[in-house]
Amino acid sequence: GTNPKTGKPNSVRLYSIAASRYGDDFTGETTTLCVRRATYWCPELGAEDPAKKGVCSNYLCDATPGTECKMTGPSGKVMLMPESDNYNADIIMVATGTGIAPYRAFWKRLFVENGPAAEAYKGVAWLFLGVANSDALLYDDELQAIKKKFPDNFKLDYALSREDTNKKGGK
């Protein structure tokens, strides 16, 4: 899209892919992103300020299935699972919020897809996910199903930083 302030194309936004090479539909022709809608709470208005909403995150969150998006990449650091000759290796994953995206590809390959990685993996994959409160837990249904089906190979720990109230009733 075009930046309304400058009239120039919007700058590139970086997102991590939250699917394995096969995509969530197993065709290898789609991908999944983990996107948090960017909003700004204005204390003076006592409401969200629509003039300060995230351009790309809101576009993606409002898109419907099948919406075509121009993508480029990958860029930056690459995160890879252990090589196929070391499927006994333990994998420790630590993430906060949407930083969980690349690890979703890991657990999909290891525990959901019917591929060589899922057949061969004998290690323990342990995910630590930190979020503010339980309503911000991402992929919880997927993770609980994996934990139930693979109790010896998958561990899951959540760190909730604002779940409880303090003495003044705040978070």
96: tokens are 């906060």
- Predicted local distance difference test score (pLDDT) of residue 144: 96
pTM higher than 0.85: no
Tokens 């996107």, residue located: 35
Give backbone dihedrals phi and psi of 55, rounded to 5 degrees, phi first. Answer: -70, -55
Q: Which amino acid is at 108?
A: K
Please report the pLDDT score of residue 56 as a whole number: 83
Residues of the chain with pLDDT under 50: none
Backbone angles phi, psi at 42, to 5 degrees: -95, 115
State residue 149's pLDDT score: 97
Closest CA to 78 of 94, 97, 102: 102
pLDDT at 70: 78
Neighbours of 66 (CB within 10 A): 6
Predicted local confidence at residue 19, as pLDDT:
87
- The whole-angstrom separation of Cα 61 and Cα 1 is 15
48-75 tens-digit pLDDT: 887 777 778 888 888 888 888 877 777 7
pLDDT tens readout for residues 119-130: 889 999 999 999
Rounded CA gap, 111 and 118, in Å? 6
Look at residue 170 in the predicted model and tell me its pLDDT: 64
